[in-house]
């Protein structure tokens, strides 16, 4: 399959690259905000711990940025290498946000470089803080622009088709397509949520491993609180996304929910399996919930998958991606709320080992939810690469070497993934917070460095 | 000026920026690795590290700019080049990924890790070699259209003296550009030993550079006569480039005025690079695609130009700040810490 079908191989290679890149991209968008908040609190409260938090996070962040940059370059070019027909067509309409994304990223890269190498050059820490603002804005805007391109693939607009040719191109209308608002806000909120929970995982892990330092407790409390806020935001926006889908891409929602017959008062199916007749079995049914999710009313009519021609139905596996994403999202809201509430009330279980292990799991779980969400988004758009206009097989390359490239890139990502872990561990194991605080106090009054 | 000429000029300028910055970057990484191997790292590493640290991501963005921009302005390039470049493009991407990440692993994580420095030094040298193949493909003769899809003649490309001349020129140019630049940078850092060593490298690579460049023009004569003739029509630009090269070498030989030397180096490559580009006009891919056929619709072209101007308004002050802090700040270059 991989070696004799360029379409399948191109899909697999794109999936591989995106699944790897999204880890670094998510962190790349989210962490600058966390660094900013920590540094701001540090300056406000004149608390060295938070300033150090910002610096230590930034030190690890650059390593992930580097891998994010190179994998981002890869996916940027792979779009043309693997989907030349699609890019030729789409380039006419949606090249603008792609182009602007580069500017946003450029902006972020410049200021991140300056921030990192000027920690010791400003007497006034507020000046150094100001450098983080363009970093966070640049990261956020990159996500906005690139998500616009993805939403365009789901809801293409801003052109007319006359005799199979695009005319009357309107790049601005294409950018602000119907899928964009929910998608962009969902991407941003989940990036902030996931980054916060990953940093929380690290703090919880340190506490579990015997360090009882106030630094880690402050980090944990702060990141869990931020995570809670964005997890709730992500769920609310997710609800809007479902309503968008119900209205404009009903086949995607129907496939994700295994909703076959158009009906009023549709129930929501959770998990389960499909039998030979494509009938859902062993699923948990929540009456009326799909109608509520889709239109905010228990009696609303939800279009079923059987209303669509067979060749236009997305694969039914996306049901599991949807369930995985939503379950983890809900779980994280509950956990972070319990933590926050428990920590305020000083309940002892918050400091217990078993609860901290759950917090450690939170970061990786959130990342799994991000992956599941993107698989849902991309597989759920099948068979289209540009909904209603071009299918994936029409968009793919005709080259016979994609299978081999898949193997090469798989090896590359393995090396980069392992390298990231090895290097990050090395940075922090050789320089734990206790040691860094000691060096600072021994320098007494020597300023920041 | 028509929009397509404006578009290709902007893109060509970005590519020129990438060629210069990338050469300095990749060459510096290579010299760093080489100095570690030969035990001279105490002379070079400090100067090289201080230059490389804050700028590598910026260099990379120039490249992204070019390929995103070319698909924006000339969407048909995605179809032609995208299909034929799958293998060479993927190899370049893998090398760039290794180079970028291992650079970061070494400089942010394991400072002085010899294996990492070696990996990114070598990968950096192979990147220009693999990317330059695109120039060989673009001047024609290696792509045919079968069943409506472009197909690359791998054997022809691999056995062509022209493509190998281009690869050799790319390699030599990287070593020459970066050694001239680093001679100036080391001199500014008042690091005598490093200046002398880089000066020696610059002189070593100066003559091979001209031989490799002339070799390409000679090869082109047999390969694509129309292109060769339009290059000959621009002989005066190549002549200016050659004179600037002579002056650069002479100044370095005399150990004089290194900062003027760097500007002459830029001038030398600018003349040659733009002359090559102008001679290539109007073809993007000989003989299948010209900038006129491949151009996007006017609405997209205008919005790209507007976005570009707005983007530059944002970027130029930022780049100025970056350069001011790291490239033109004497204390930083010399490694002196100070408070502002």
Q: In which band, very low, low, confident or very high, does the pLDDT at A131 lie, cut at 50, 70 and 90?
A: confident
Residue A384's SS3 state is strand
CA distance B213 to B231: 13
Residue B339 predicted with pLDDT over 50: no
Mean model confidence pLDDT for chain B: 85
What 3-state DSSP class applies to A385?
Answer: strand
Joined together, the tokens standing for residue A58 give 């930034």
Q: For residue A171, what are its two tokens?
A: 């790049």
Tell me which of A104 and A118 has the higher pLDDT. A104
Rg (CA), chain A: 23
Which pLDDT band holds residue A444 (cuts at 50, 70, 90)? low
In this predicted structure, the answer to whether residue B45 has a pLDDT above a threshold of 80 is: no
Say yes or no to pLDDT of A47 above 70.
yes
- Contact indicator for A177, A152 with CB cutoff of 8 Å: yes
Q: With a CB-CB cutoff of 8 Å, which residues 132-171 of chain B face chain A?
A: 147, 149
A196 burial (CB, 10 Å; 0-12 / 13-18 / 19+) is buried
pLDDT value at B112 more than 80: no
The closest CB to that of A71, out of B82, B97, B108, belongs to B97
Closest chain A residue by Cα to residue B71: A91
Residues of A with Cβ-Cβ distance to B64 under 8 angstroms = 72-73, 76, 102, 105
At residue B330, the pLDDT reads 67
Q: Convert the pLDDT of each residue in A204-251 to its tens digit.
A: 999 888 778 888 999 999 999 999 999 999 999 999 999 999 888 889
pLDDT of the residue at B281: 84
Over residues B63-99, the pLDDT tens digits come to 888 888 888 889 888 888 888 888 989 999 999 999 8
The confidence score (pLDDT) of residue A189 equals: 95
Average confidence score pLDDT of chain A: 88
> How large is the ipTM?
0.88
For chain A, say whether B71 makes contact (Cβ under 8 Å): yes
Cβ B191 vs Cβ B240: under 8 Å? no
CA atoms within 13 A on the CB side of A435: 7
Question: Could you report the per-residue pLDDT of B187-215, keeping only the tens digit for each?
Answer: 888 888 888 888 888 899 989 988 988 88
More confident residue, A429 or A146: A146
pLDDT band, very low/low/confident/very high, at B171 (cuts 50, 70, 90): very high
| pLDDT tens, position by position, A279-326 | 888 888 888 888 888 888 888 888 888 888 988 889 989 999 999 999
Which range (A112-126, B150-164, B223-237) has the least confidence? A112-126
Q: What is the pTM of this model?
A: 0.91
Is residue A448 over pLDDT 50? no
Residue ranges of B 81-120 with Cβ closer than 8 A to chain A: 81-87, 89-91, 93-94, 96-98, 100-105, 108-110
Spatial contact of B83 and A79, defined as CB atoms under 8 Å apart:
no
Is the pLDDT score of B147 beyond 90? Answer: no
Using left for φ > 0, alpha for ψ between -120 and 50, and beta otherwise, residue B127 falls in: alpha
Chain B residues whose beta carbon lies within 8 Å of the beta carbon of residue A112: 57
In the predicted structure, residue A446 carries a pLDDT above the cut 60: no
Query: Looking at the predicted structure, is the pLDDT value of residue B53 above 70?
Result: no
- Report pLDDT digits (tens) over B229-277: 888 888 898 899 899 889 999 988 988 888 889 899 999 989 999 998 8
């Amino acid at each position: 399959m991989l070696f004799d079908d360029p379409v399948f191989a191109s899909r697999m290679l794109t999936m591989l690259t995106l699944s790897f890149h999204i880890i670094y991209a998510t962190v790349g968008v989210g962490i600058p905000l966390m660094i900013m908040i920590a540094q701001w609190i540090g300056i406000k409260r004149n608390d060295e711990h938070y300033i150090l938090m910002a610096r230590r996070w930034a030190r690890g962040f650059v390593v992930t940025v580097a891998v994010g940059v190179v994998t981002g370059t890869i996916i940027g070019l792979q779009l043309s290498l693997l989907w030349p027909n699609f890019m030729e067509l789409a380039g006419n309409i949606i090249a603008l946000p792609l182009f602007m994304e580069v500017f946003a990223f450029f902006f972020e890269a410049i200021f991140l470089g300056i921030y990192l190498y000027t920690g010791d050059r400003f007497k006034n820490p507020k000046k150094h803080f100001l450098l983080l603002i363009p970093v966070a804005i640049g990261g956020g805007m990159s996500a906005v622009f690139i998500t616009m391109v993805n939403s365009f693939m789901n809801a293409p607009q801003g052109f007319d088709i006359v005799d199979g040719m695009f005319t009357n191109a309107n790049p601005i209308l294409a950018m602000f397509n119907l899928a964009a608002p929910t998608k962009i806000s969902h991407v941003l909120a989940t990036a902030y949520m996931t980054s916060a929970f990953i940093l929380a995982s690290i703090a919880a892990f340190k506490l579990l491993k015997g360090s009882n330092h106030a630094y880690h407790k402050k980090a944990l409390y702060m990141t869990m609180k931020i995570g809670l806020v964005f997890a709730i935001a992500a769920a609310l926006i997710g609800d809007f996304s479902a309503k968008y889908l119900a209205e404009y891409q009903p086949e995607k929602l129907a496939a994700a929910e295994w909703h076959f017959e158009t009906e009023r008062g549709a129930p929501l199916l959770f998990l389960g399996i499909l039998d030979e007749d494509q009938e859902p079995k062993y699923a948990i049914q929540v009456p009326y919930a799909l109608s509520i999710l889709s239109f905010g009313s228990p009696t609303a009519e939800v279009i079923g998958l059987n209303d669509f021609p067979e060749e236009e139905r997305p694969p039914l596996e996306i049901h599991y991606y949807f369930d995985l994403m939503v379950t983890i999202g809900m779980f994280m809201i509950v956990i972070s709320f319990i933590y926050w509430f428990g920590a305020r009330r000083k309940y002892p279980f918050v400091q217990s080992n078993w609860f901290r292990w759950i917090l450690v799991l939170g970061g990786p779980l959130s990342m799994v939810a991000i992956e599941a969400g993107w698989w849902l988004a991309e597989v759920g758009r099948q068979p289209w690469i540009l909904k209603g206009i071009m299918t994936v097989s029409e968009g793919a390359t005709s080259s016979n070497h994609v299978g081999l490239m898949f193997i090469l890139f798989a090896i590359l990502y393995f090396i980069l993934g392992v390298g990231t872990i090895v290097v990050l561990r090395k940075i922090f194991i050789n320089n734990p917070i206790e040691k860094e605080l000691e060096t600072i106090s021994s320098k007494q009054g020597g300023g920041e460095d | 000026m028509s929009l397509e000429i404006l578009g290709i000029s902007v893109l060509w300028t970005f590519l020129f920026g990438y060629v210069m910055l990338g050469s300095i970057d990749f060459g510096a990484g290579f010299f760093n690795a080489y100095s570690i191997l030969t035990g001279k790292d105490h002379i070079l590493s400090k100067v090289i590290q201080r230059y490389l640290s804050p700028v590598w991501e910026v260099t990379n963005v120039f490249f992204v700019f070019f390929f995103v921009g070319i698909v924006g302005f000339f969407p048909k390039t995605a179809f032609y080049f995208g299909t034929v470049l799958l293998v060479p493009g993927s190899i370049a991407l893998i090398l760039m990924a290794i180079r970028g990440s291992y650079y970061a692993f070494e400089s942010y994580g394991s400072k002085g890790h010899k294996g990492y420095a070696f990996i990114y030094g070598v990968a950096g040298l192979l990147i220009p070699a693999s990317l330059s193949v695109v120039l060989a493909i673009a001047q024609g003769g290696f792509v045919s259209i079968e069943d409506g899809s472009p197909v690359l003649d791998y054997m022809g490309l691999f056995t062509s003296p022209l493509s190998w001349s281009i690869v050799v020129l790319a390699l030599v140019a990287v070593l020459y550009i970066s050694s001239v630049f680093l001679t100036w940078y080391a001199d500014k850092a008042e690091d005598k030993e490093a200046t002398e060593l880089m000066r020696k490298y610059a002189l070593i690579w100066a003559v091979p550079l001209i031989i490799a460049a002339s070799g390409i023009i000679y090869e082109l004569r047999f390969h694509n006569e129309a292109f060769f003739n339009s290059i000959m029509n621009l002989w005066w630009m190549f002549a200016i480039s050659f004179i600037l090269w002579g002056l650069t070498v002479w100044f370095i030989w005399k150990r004089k005025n290194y900062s003027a030397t760097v500007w002459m180096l830029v001038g030398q490559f600018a003349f040659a690079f733009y002359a090559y580009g102008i001679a290539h006009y109007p073809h993007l891919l000989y003989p299948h695609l010209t900038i006129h056929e491949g151009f996007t619709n006017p609405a997209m072209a205008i919005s790209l130009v507007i976005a570009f101007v707005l983007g530059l308004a944002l970027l130029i002050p930022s780049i100025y700040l970056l350069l001011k802090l790291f490239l033109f700040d004497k204390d930083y270059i010399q490694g002196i810490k100070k408070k502002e």
